[in-house]
Structure 1
Amino acid sequence: MEGVELLVIVVAIFVGAFMKGMTGTGLPQIAIPIMAIFLGVERAVIVMAIPGVLTNAWMVWRYRHHLRFGRDLWVLGALGMGGAVLGTFGLTTFDARALAGILAGMIIVSLVVRFAHPGFRLEPAVSRYTSPPVGAAAGLLQGATGISGPLMTVYLHSFRQRKEVFMASIVTLFLLFAIPQTTVLFATGSYTPNRIAESLLALVPIAVALPLGNRLSDRLSARAFDGCVVAVLVASAAKLLYDAFVG
């Protein structure tokens, strides 16, 4: 790999980790598409799986006291873990463009609803029915693409819970999705010594950027945090539309 390509990958991981520390999401959405340009999608997903487990575990511990206020977490997590296993086995068979288009459409609809009806909130009476299919779909996306963030961000954002509860909820679900994904990758021999080494090297920029983003998140007002989450969703939708129709 050329020095410039390596630098681009490191910067993408750094920026993604910073956004994750600030909003709870953003690392795979930013890092995997950039890495895939140089490494291919399958290798990029495999390399980022171990960092996904470790970064989310750290953030779950940090926000653990807010977990009791989360909603539908165990339903979302259980169905998502099953979906992650299926998605990982289908890593090389899913139509990436179709998945990108579907995800982009969901984000756009959610943003339109949000701006048209600023007070919209998905109530518990509704989410008890929507959480099982959403959890399964998010896990499937995690296993197949390494990126479940856009769907889970849209869904949990619609609950309109406090910043800390949102952060605790989303990183817990990401951790639950990442564990079976990584386990299957190891069990199927996808991790070679080189790919393990690449995963561990990816932790270097993450170890610097993640705490920095987290410190900034602590200082953000609820409104500013909300704006950052919306910005991540807009950027995700733009990238997914590009993947669906151009990439």
Structure 2
Amino acid sequence: MEFFYIFLSFALGGILKGATGAGAPIVAIPIIALFYDVPTAVTIFVIPNLLSNMWQAWSYRKDQLPPALTYRFAATGLMGAIVGTFMLAYLPTDLLTVMIAVAVTLYIAFRLARPEWVLEYATAVRIVVPVGTVAGVLQGSLGISAPVSLTFLNAMKPEREQFIATVSFFFVSMALVQLPFLVGLGLMTTERFWISCIALIPMIGCMPIGAFIARYVPRSVFDKLILALLALIAVKLYAEVAFGG
């Protein structure tokens, strides 16, 4: 039954990634954290995250936003991810769980706010270093950088291909540096490594389902279903800490 929840979480993450090009961790990691813990969730997500984003980054490599933004975003995210991985290893489990719940709550709030303003490219380049660093810390410690990374990129209103190319390169950069640190800190055990590899199957397998949904189901309906699911997960995570499960 435990592996069923892992399979389900990665399947749902794959559907979301197939539909939008990103966002798999925001669904998969909180679900896994409900039944295991945050370090397990973040660790077993690394391999699927790395390989799926490598494929997307290569497929859309010609559509990246200019290097002044893309490479700075990835480089600072990489450095932040190192800091975040140490936080994952040493912070108390309950604190990490609350941080996951807060990150999900912030993501829901950002999605519901739907700001009309557009972040100008020149401004984005000026703030990309602190934004990338914070997003990297969140990715390393919680596996979820969406409240910062996806909000930042979406605010520039890029084309879908530009968004996928840039965010995929960002995630690949962080995962490449996070993996050896997870091994070195003892978080990536042999068992977790193989679970992580196997979890790639439902995630990749369900991405075409997400692409199909994106073509035939109104985006507004799909978004509401995802946000409702995330709200339930966030409430459960808060309850886990408040009442001890």
The TM-score normalised by the length of structure 1 is: 0.81
Alpha carbons 1:12, 1:30 under 8 Å: kept = yes
**Any gaps of 5 or more consecutive residues in structure 1?**
none
Structure 2 counterpart of 1:130, one-letter code: I
Cα offset for 1:37? 2.5
Aligned to 2:144: 147
The separation in 2 between residues aligned to 1:42 and 1:87, in whole angstroms, is 11
Cα offset for 1:85? 0.6
Structure 1 counterpart of 2:70, one-letter code: L
Aligned with 2:64: secondary structure?
helix
Alpha carbons 2:38, 2:96 under 8 Å: kept = no
The separation in 2 between residues aligned to 1:220 and 1:168, in whole angstroms, is 23
Alpha carbons 2:88, 2:96 under 8 Å: kept = no
Alpha carbons 1:104, 1:241 under 8 Å: kept = no
Aligned to 2:62: 65
Identity %: 30
Aligned to 1:16: 13
Cα offset for 1:177? 1.4
Deviations 1:91-115 (A, max 9, x none): 144432553465356446644653x
From 67, 82, 87, the counterpart of 1:85 = 82
Aligned to 1:99: 99
Aligned to 2:3: 6
Aligned to 1:186: 183
The separation in 1 between residues aligned to 2:185 and 2:172, in whole angstroms, is 20
Alpha carbons 1:113, 1:120 under 8 Å: kept = no
Alpha carbons 1:141, 1:147 under 8 Å: kept = yes
Alignment of 1:181-220 (within 5 A): 181-214=178-211, 217=214, 219=215
The TM-score normalised by the length of structure 2 is: 0.82
RMSD: 2.9
Answering whether residue 163 of structure 2 is matched by residue 166 of structure 1, we say yes
Alpha carbons 1:101, 1:244 under 8 Å: kept = yes
Answering whether residue 127 of structure 2 is matched by residue 130 of structure 1, we say yes
Please say which of residues 52-61 and 123-132 is displaced more in the overlay: 123-132
Cα offset for 1:52? 1.0
Structure 1 counterpart of 2:118, one-letter code: R
